[in-house]
């Protein structure tokens, strides 16, 4: 190959390489300015007593260069009481570890909301938050981790206070989806939370629609469900069936799909699955429900 051709090819590779580096270095924050966590201080074992579990919240500031501040609001599962917000500083690249019992000692179950604020405790654009809740179930000697659900601010590359809470980018999903398995072996519980229009609030309308389908896509049934503030119920209870009838209707499991019905900001949710096998201790798993419907292309990931 002649020298001029080699130089031409080398130049092309250099240009392509620089273009790739430039594209790869582009960064739009896709974390949350609002993080929502399910918590429980009660074991998932049948007949468990209060305070038989512990929930730790892990709150991460993924910005390695800039510190921030958060407010933490606790909602009791039945929406009968709220605590907070409790404000804490968070360092650059740091993670806070918060024991729910220390800040909401009387709440057995519910939702915690974490939102980033400025020095005056006003909610700000800080789409670099991430985290999860870890539930330690003492009777079952098990741990389950549930990723936090999160909402972006009104300007994912901007700074300062959130000025437009009506922006579609600030909305939670409008439709959620989760899979559940064979009800004869796994009891699945669901918690739903409808965030309010502004940080640190819950929607006044908390009755959502929930659709059930078998694994083959048949057996559609849509019912209203009072989500309250993250209080779990079994899928059989939500479907309005006894355990045996629910197993007959969905023998191999299926899909559960909550969707908004008047909620202004969307909904988030979690499934907690208790595996019950004869002769062994129950095993607990969990999942954050996936958002499959949105009001804006630039909303939740």
Rounded mean pLDDT of the chain? 90
pLDDT grade for 20, boundaries at 50, 70 and 90: very low
Q: Which residues contact 152 (CB under 8 A, 6 or more apart)?
A: 30, 32, 33, 127, 169, 170, 298, 299, 300
DSSP conformation letters of 104-169: -TT--EEEEEEEEB-TT--BB--TTEEEEEEEEETTTTEEEEEEPEEE--S-TT--SB---TTSGG
Tokens read off for 209? 């629609």
User: What's the mean pLDDT in 48-66?
Assistant: 97
Residue 8 has pLDDT above 60, yes or no: no
**What are the residue boundaries of the structural domains of the chain, listed by start?**
34-293
Q: Are 188 and 273 in contact (CB under 8 A)?
A: yes
CA 147 and chain centroid, separation:
6
CA distance 154 to 166: 8
Please give the pLDDT value at position 7: 41
User: What's the mean pLDDT in 129-146?
Assistant: 96
Burial status of residue 279 (CB atoms within 10 A of its CB: 0-12, 13-18, 19 or more): exposed
Short-list 231, 220, 284, CA closest to 255? 220
Please give the pLDDT value at position 6: 43
CA distance 30 to 301: 7
Tokens read off for 75? 């909602």
CA distance 4 to 10: 10
Of residues 60 and 19, more confidently modeled: 60
What global pTM score does this model have? Answer: 0.89
Q: Are 146 and 270 in contact (CB under 8 A)?
A: yes
Residue 134 has pLDDT above 90, yes or no: yes
CA distance 108 to 268: 20
CA distance 263 to 266: 6
3-state secondary structure of 72: strand
**Tens-digit pLDDT profile for residues 161-175:** 999 999 999 999 999
Tokens read off for 92? 């650059």
The count of other CB atoms within 10 Å of the CB of residue 180 is 22
Starting at the edge strand found earlier in the chain, the sheet holding 95-99 runs 95-99, 53-61, 129-137, 142-147
């Amino acid at each position: 190959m002649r020298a001029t051709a080699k130089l031409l090819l080398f130049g092309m590779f250099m240009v392509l390489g620089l273009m790739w580096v430039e594209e790869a270095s582009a960064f739009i924050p896709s974390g949350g300015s609002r993080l929502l966590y399910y918590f429980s201080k009660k074991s998932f074992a049948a007949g468990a007593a209060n305070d038989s579990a512990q929930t730790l919240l892990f709150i991460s500031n993924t910005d390695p260069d800039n510190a921030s501040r958060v407010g933490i609001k606790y909602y009791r599962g039945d929406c009968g009481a709220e605590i907070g917000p409790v404000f804490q500083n968070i360092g650059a690249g740091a993670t806070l570890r918060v024991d729910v019992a220390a800040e909401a000692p009387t709440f057995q179950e519910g939702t915690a909301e974490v939102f980033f604020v400025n020095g005056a405790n006003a909610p700000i654009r800080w789409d670099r938050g991430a985290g999860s809740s870890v539930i330690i179930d003492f009777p079952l000697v098990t741990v389950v981790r549930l990723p936090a659900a999160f909402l972006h601010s009104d300007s994912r590359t901007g700074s300062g206070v959130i000025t437009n809470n009506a922006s579609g980018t600030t909305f939670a999903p409008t439709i959620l989806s989760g899979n559940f398995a064979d009800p004869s072996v796994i009891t699945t519980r669901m918690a739903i939370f409808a965030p309010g229009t502004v940080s640190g609030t819950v929607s006044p309308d908390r009755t959502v629609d929930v659709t059930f389908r078998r694994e083959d896509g048949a057996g559609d049934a849509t019912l209203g469900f009072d989500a309250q503030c993250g209080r779990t119920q079994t899928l059989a209870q939500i479907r309005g069936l006894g355990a045996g009838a629910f197993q007959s209707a969905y023998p191999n499991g299926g899909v559960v799909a909550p969707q908004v019905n008047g909620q202004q900001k969307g909904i988030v949710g979690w499934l907690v699955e208790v595996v019950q096998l004869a002769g062994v201790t129950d095993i607990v798993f969990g999942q954050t429900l996936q958002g499959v419907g949105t009001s804006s292309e630039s909303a939740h990931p």
